[in-house]
Structure formats: structure tokens, C-alpha cells
Chains A and B, each alone.
Chain A
């Protein structure tokens, strides 16, 4: 399962970067979504995949039971997902305005600020 998820992360990154390099801003957004999913998945599996008890501390105990799952990657990935959504939705609005202003979604036609 670990290997499968590792390959999934690789595939997501490859597809994401490929799409980002296409000459279309909409594909850039799709690529960004795939890339952010790949990164989130990488963070999520970073603690390893185990069938372990929930990291809850019983009443009166000071520490979770031995072998409890590591809750931190889940907290991290939750934050990262929220940030990723915000960023992607901002980019979508920006690209909509950009395609409107340039009347094209081809980044090669957005050269007025290049040097």
C-alpha cells in the first residue's frame, strides 16, 4: 500500500507538472490542483500507514496508548488542503480575468510584461 501511494504521488506530480507546462492557463490550474493533491498525499503518508489505535488519551492517563497513530500529519494535511483550495480558487479567478483581458488563454500571448 505504501508503494502504491508513493507511485500515486509520483504520477500526480508528473501529470501536474506536464499540465502546467502546456500552453493553456486552464491546464495550468488543473496541473496546480494535481500538484497540490500530490503534495498533500505525500504529507499524509509521511507518517507511514499502520492500523493503529486512535491517538486519544483515556481519562486519567497522561499519554495515548502505545502504538497509537501519529495525528500530526493529519493536522498538517488538513491545513495544507485548506490553503491549497484557497490558492486554487484564487488562481481560477485570476486566470478568468487574465483570459478576459487578453482574449486568449495562451500564456505565450501574455508578453507585455516580459522583457
Chain B
């Protein structure tokens, strides 16, 4: 049982290796990746149950004790994120069995997907900052290739922007990690918890600067307000399955890192957290405003991802309020919203994929009449769209309620107003998709001649039932959460309480406790006196 946190990383990597060994056989690659995805989900469920029952699960790789070796840690927050990755991994894998063409498979679609999943799980489970950087790079490289896999002009252009901005973020992260190591001599996050207290007592400005650098690096990955422009430029170009897994997991890794770093490593960086809270409010509104102006199914969804990240990060930003009740509510809301958005956004992207399969386009002005032609698809979209907008009974209602409740208790009225306005606009842009794609009549071929894209309307394809099964499963899951939210809400409360007691995390990882010397020292000695050997 103690090796449980290793499995979600190991299983997808082994499955990816199996896929690479059977490079020529499309069938065997499909079988191997499905088995890998099932194994990942199974290990994620086992991990969640263990982490919830027996508190924090840790593994010291190679039995090197904590601050020196590589530590894998699964607390409740990590465990539910890994479960999200496992669920999405399996459903997207099943969806791609149909969507990924033979050419995509021959170009390595499945191994890349599995390596992406392994990287995401590694980032969720790692216990030290440098390994977090390494896992970030693993999942970034996999996502770069997935994005540029199909060689159209749009894909390549989207990939260039995505690659350039994400690499700048990685470099910032790496530099900040280097400076952090310079002042603390450790990169284990549990050890940093104590070590940075010492530095902070002597040089609070340095710690704030580091916290701000990490916030910028992770904010870029999470697509926070001024740093989100790579996302709408790239997220709508790949096939729907890739969009779904990106929307479910990639921004979430940035948010996860923000939560982890600001609860464990920089618990006292209040000024930075205030900035994060304000940026979260701006992110909510600017993301949804971007969505309102769009006329393409997947672009609207991509812009919405930004807006929703704002809601999640608002929960994290509430850590700035010194009231522990507000902090617990905020973090719990962030956890609920992460799960909600991690299931609903991929569902919407997969619906877009089905529409694309049927009609050959996702440009809203060329679509129409889908409600009459495929009522079940319209029903799936409607359930998902209402959940995204936060109408009961759906997971979105509870997630938004949790965020709004935390904001009310914190009395952050401006952020609350931004959240409500963004909610209304979300509903509006979802109604736009509904009206354009599903409700209005199918446009005549000669009327859409002047529009960009294919001039003639292609003939609709029938959607195979098995193709739609993963989407139905996702929507059922989302609706089930909406009708029966108590397990998730209770779990989120427990996860938030655990995040707010870092001492338990430090104890579970097993680093020796530090005696915190709070007498102010000469500032210069902290920065320059880095040549002391490690005891």
C-alpha cells in the first residue's frame, strides 16, 4: 500500500512505453492505452480512498529520508486532483479511440496522451519544487506535440504562441527555484515551510519577491488575467479530445501549484495574495467578455476556461483574509470548483467534437437545427451548458454557491459583484451557442458562401453510439454531482482543513522540525551568506 502514490505516474508511463513498442499496430496501441487509462483510474481511486481514510500518504523514493531524497506526497487535495486526471484520462482515451485517425495514431497520439497524464499526476503528487518543475516540463512537452500533431496552419500557429509563453513561465519558475534554494538550502516543500519562516523573520522582502515570482510563473500556467493570452490563441485548434484534456488538466496544474505553494511554502505572503484575489476578479470578467464576442464553438469554450480559472483562483486569493474560517471556505470552494470545471469543460469540448464530427464545422454561423436533428445531443449540451452557467441542479450550482458563500463571508463585495456579472454573461454566451447551433434553422448552403471556412455545407455524418458514450458518462457524472453534492462538498471541506494545517503535511513527510529564529538579523548576511555548508 505504501507504493500507492507511485502508481498513477508509473502506470501511464508503462502504457506509453507499450504503445511505443507497438508503434506499427494501431489496434495494439489502442488496447494498451485503454488498459493504461483504466489502470490509472483504478490507482487514483485507491489513492483517494487511502488518502481520505489514513491521512497523508508519502513515499520516499529509494528510501532516502525526506529533505534529501525525492518525496511523493498524496494528501486529500492531491488525491482528488489525481482522480480528476484519471477520470478525464480514461474518458478522453475512449473518445479518441474513434476521433483519433490512423494518421494521428501513427504520429504517436496515444503515447503522448499517456505521457501527458503521467506528467500531470507527477505534478500533483511531487513533494519538492524542482520535481514540480520537471513534471511541468514533461507535461508541457507532451502538450506541445499534441497541439501541433495535425499539421494544419492553425495548429502550428497556436502551438508557437503556446510554446513561447509557457517556456517563459517555466524559466521564471526555474530561476525562482534557484534563488529559493540559494536562501534556504532545500527544495522539499515540507522543509521549505520551516526554512522560509526563518528567512522571513530576517528578510521579509526577499520572501515576498520570491512569492510574487512564483505567483507570476504559476499564474501564467493557470491563465490568470494579464497572462492568459496564450490560451485563447491555442486551445481551440486541436481535435476535441485534446482540447478536453487540456481544459481539464493543464490550467488546473497551475492552480494546483498556486494552492500548494501558497498554503505550504508562503503561508504569510498576504500582499501577493491580495493581488491574486484582485486579478482573479478581473480574470472572471475579462474571460467571459472574450467569450461573448466569439462566434466559434470551441473559441467560446476556450475563453470560458479563463473566466472559470478566475473563480477558482478567487478561492485561493481568499487566503489573504486573516480569518481561518474564510480561508477554509475559500479553499474548499476552490476544490469544488476545480472538480466541477475539470469535468464540465471537457464535456462541453467533447460535445463540440461530436458536433464537428456530424457537421464538419464548429463555426456557429454555419450550424443550425441540431436540436431537431439530434435531440439527445442537444440535451447533453443543454445539461452541460446550464451546469457551466451555474443553474441548479448541477455541479456548477454548488461550485458557484461555494465560491459566492466564501466571498460573502469574507465581505469581498467587489469580487462578488464580478463573480455574479461573469455568471450572467456565461449564461448569455451559452445561450448564444444554444440558439445558433441547436435552435435556429439549418442555414442554406448559398447563404454561408461568403463566410470563412468551407463554403459549401458538408453532409452530416451520423454519430456512432459508442463515440458518444464517454460524453454521456461525463454528463451523467456532472448531473450526479449536482443532485448528490454532499460527498464532494464534505471531501472539499476536509481537504481545505488539511491544506490549512501544514504542520500535518510537514510531519507526514518527516522532515526534522526547525527552530525558528525570529530575531531580525543583518539583511545582507541572508542574501550573501549562502556559502555555509549544509548541516
Contacts and interface: CB of A to CB of B under 8 A. Distances in A.
Interface of A: 2, 13, 20, 25, 28, 32, 35-36, 38-40, 42-50, 52, 66-68, 70, 72-73, 76, 79-80, 83, 86-87, 90-91, 94-95, 97-98, 101-102, 107, 110-115
Contacts of B294: 115
Contact of B137 (A20, A46, A52, A87): A87
Given A43-B174, A76-B181, A112-B154, A86 B233 contact: no
A33 to B, nearest CB: 11
Contacts of A72: 181, 187
A39 B140 CA distance: 18
A32 to B, nearest CB: 6
A56 to B, nearest CB: 14
Contacts of B144: 90, 94
Contacts of B477: none
14 contacts: A39-B178, A42-B178, A43-B174, A79-B130, A94-B148, A94-B160, A97-B156, A98-B156, A102-B156, A107-B160, A110-B161, A111-B157, A112-B154, A113-B237
B163 A46 contact: no
Interface residues of B, number: 48
Contact of A115 (B151, B156, B232): B232
Given A43-B178, A83-B137, A87-B141, A114 B530 contact: no
Across the A-B interface, give the 3 residue pairs with the lowest CB-CB distance, nearest first.
A43-B178, A46-B182, A48-B531
A70 B185 contact: yes
Contact of A35 (B134, B160, B171, B533): B171
Contact of B153 (A25, A76, A102): A102
- A interface: dominant SS: helix
B63 interface: no
B75 to A, nearest CB: 25
Contacts of A39: 171, 174-175, 178
B172 to A, nearest CB: 8
B525 interface: no
Interface string B148-169: 1001011011111101100110
B381 to A, nearest CB: 22
B236 A42 contact: no
B126 interface: no
Contacts of A73: 178, 181
Contacts, number: 126
Contact of A43 (B175, B528, B530): B175
Interface string B196-215: 00000000000000000000
Nearest to B173: A39
Interface string B180-196: 01100101000000000
Contacts of A112: 153-154, 157
Contacts of A44: 178
B163 A114 contact: no
B163 A79 contact: no
- B interface: dominant SS: helix
Contacts of B140: 87
Nearest to A76: B130
A86 B141 contact: yes
A115 B293 contact: yes
Contacts of A66: 533
A94 B178 contact: no
A86 B158 CA distance: 20
B175 A42 contact: yes
Contacts of A28: 164
A49 B174 CA distance: 19
B534 A70 contact: yes
Given A39-B175, A46-B179, A98-B157, A113 B236 contact: yes
A65 to B, nearest CB: 9
B485 interface: no
A98 B174 CA distance: 27
Nearest to A79: B134
B131 to A, nearest CB: 10
B305 interface: no
Contacts of B237: 113
Contacts of A94: 144, 148, 156, 159-160, 163
A91 B181 contact: no
A47 B179 contact: no
A20 to B, nearest CB: 7
A115 B299 contact: yes
A94 to B, nearest CB: 6
B533 A46 contact: no
A105 B302 CA distance: 26
B177 interface: yes
A52 B154 contact: no
Contacts of A52: 533
A40 B133 CA distance: 13
Contacts of B178: 39, 42-44, 46, 73, 76
Nearest to B293: A115
A76 B164 CA distance: 23
Among B158, B160, B528, which residue has the most Cβ atoms of chain A within 10 A? B160
B43 interface: no
Nearest to B531: A48
Contacts of A76: 130, 177-178, 181, 187
